[in-house]
Chain A
Amino acid sequence: MTLTLVLLGAAALIGIGLYGALSQQSFVMLMMGLELMLNGALLAIIGFWSLSLGGMPEGQLLAIIVMAVMAVEMAIGFALIVAVYRKRQADMTESIGTLRQ
């Protein structure tokens, strides 16, 4: 029962995150959508690890990896935003029609 609840919550977070990542025009808000999807993944991992894997340590490892993925996504995402802003002075997806220099 708890597991179902947790997984439904994770599904909702992933759904909202996908909505955000597709709909937001601002790069930073777009990244928030991605983070929210990863949040849902993290919730699902914690739920599965705790309630149906009998606490095998690999489950916790996976959660750590998800956190590392979040850190990588944030760092590279913001670096790309800075690079694009330097080149185009743009912070919205619409302003980037081409990836050409």
Chain B
Amino acid sequence: MTDLMIALLVAFAVWTGWRVFRVDSMVRASFALMLSFVAVGAIGVLLSAPYIGVATVFMMAVEMMVMAIFMVMFMMNPAGLNPMVMVHQHRLSIGAGLVAFFGLSAAVLLSPLPSNPVAPGTDVVAQLGHELLGPSMLIFETAGVTLLATMVGAVILSSRQGRFGSADEGSRPPGLTEGGDPAGRQPEGGGGHGHHHHGGH
């Protein structure tokens, strides 16, 4: 019974993962990815990892919401109800994907997999907690510091005001064709502070 459910969830995770690159809307893509994560989380719950499974659902719901917001900030066609194809080096990518899949599958099928399932009745959540704040505390703390560094880095990278002036100063949109005229929004010239241009060497 559990096996059947896991099989269905694996199939669902793979199918939704595939849909991510087939649907014609970024919002649909990000929520297809979320469904893929939710399926993996459910597999985690079925495979007696309740905390990991549920936390995956929680984290990914938030992450994909952030992703959808970013899409609308940057993408053309944000609501995405028009068809679109935005791919490059398509054959190479398909080949690489297939090689990765078949290589890993061969590794899975050809190697003897040890069978040593979790003993039923183990309090895995408490075990995880004791591991995190016990033997592996240094690893856990390193992850914490890394996340802090990430926050600082993300704020610095994305802030407009920087040490060397405004980040979008002199920004020119790329051309629609190779070496063509800039497309889209032009950098703001004139206006209140147009008279002191600096930089531009």
Contact with B along A45-89 (1 / 0, CB 8 A): 011011111110110110111011011101110111111011111
- Complex Cα distance A48/B70, Å? 34
How big is the B interface, by class? 35 or more
A52 touches B3 (CB 8 A): no
A49 touches B117 (CB 8 A): no
- Complex Cα distance A49/B158, Å? 38
Say yes or no: A20-B20 contact (C-beta < 8 A), given A68-B143, A89-B184: yes
A55 touches B14 (CB 8 A): no
Where the two chains meet, the residues of A that have a C-beta atom closer than 8 Å to any C-beta of B are 1-20, 22-29, 31-33, 35-36, 39, 42-43, 46-47, 49-55, 57-58, 60-61, 63-65, 67-68, 70-72, 74-76, 78-83, 85-95
A64 touches B143 (CB 8 A): yes
- Complex Cα distance A80/B181, Å? 25
* A to B CB contacts below 8 Å, 12 in the list: A7-B104, A9-B11, A9-B13, A9-B14, A28-B26, A28-B71, A52-B117, A57-B127, A57-B136, A58-B131, A61-B136, A95-B174
Per the 8 Å Cβ criterion, residues 85-101 of B in contact with A are: 86-90, 92-94, 96-98, 100-101
Q: For the complex, would chain A's binding face be called helix, strand, loop or mixed by DSSP majority? A: helix
Provide the residues of chain B in CB contact with A6, threshold 8 Å: 6, 10, 43, 47
Q: How far is the CB of A18 from chain B (nearest CB, A)?
A: 5
Residue on B with the closest CB to A68? B143
Say yes or no: A82-B147 contact (C-beta < 8 A), given A6-B43, A12-B14: no
Q: Is B82 an interface residue (CB 8 A)?
A: no
A89 touches B171 (CB 8 A): yes
The residue in B14, B75, B114, B119 that gathers the most chain A C-beta atoms within 10 A of its C-beta is: B14
A11 touches B100 (CB 8 A): yes
Provide the residues of chain B in CB contact with A53, threshold 8 Å: 116
Contact with A along B181-201 (1 / 0, CB 8 A): 000110000000000000000
